[in-house]
Amino acid sequence: MFKGTTILFVKKDGKSVVIGDGQVSLGNTVIKHGARKVRRIFHKKVIVGFAGATADAFTLFTRLESKLEQFSGNLERSVIELAKDWRTDKYLRRLEAMMIVTDGESIYLLSGAGDIIEPDIPVIAIGSGGPYAYSAARALYENTDLNAEEIARKSMEIASDVCIYTNKNFTLEIL
């Protein structure tokens, strides 16, 4: 589990939302409040959110975008090939990051171990506040008529109230 972030994905009624907080912590000190941990890549058609070491995440962003170019935007093939590289390359195996990746249709969690996980329901979260955001989003998804963006925002509010490594400076992207 990575300290210092919360990234949440929610898909409902055809809208995919990825939201992340902006806090960067070094030990028990907050050193930045407005980091962007959610970004669009590959001609703004894919949204990626990351938890973990920033430099490692940027390395993975670059590798994923390269795979998307190589495989003509096929997200499934691109994440599979990235995961293969991640597991077999000595340099990549040392990277400490996790990613949530979506093209609006498919959603994948790429773990630090090179695993690819597709959630059973269209809600998934990573980072130190991930369990809180995930639990809130699951409850709201299954028990309310809120849309994907409302669920994502409310769940992140709840996570930021509970997790000391998560703040309320959110970056949100919708497909």
- Residue pair 41/64 in contact by the 8 Å Cβ criterion: yes
Buried b / exposed e across 91-102, counting CB within 10 Å, b at 16+?
ebeebebbbbbb
Cα(72)–Cα(87) distance, rounded to whole angstroms?
A: 23
Active-site residue set: 5
Scan for tokens 């973990």, then name that residue: 52
Cα(99)–Cα(108) distance, rounded to whole angstroms?
A: 8
Cα(160)–Cα(89) distance, rounded to whole angstroms?
A: 35
- Residue pair 48/99 in contact by the 8 Å Cβ criterion: yes
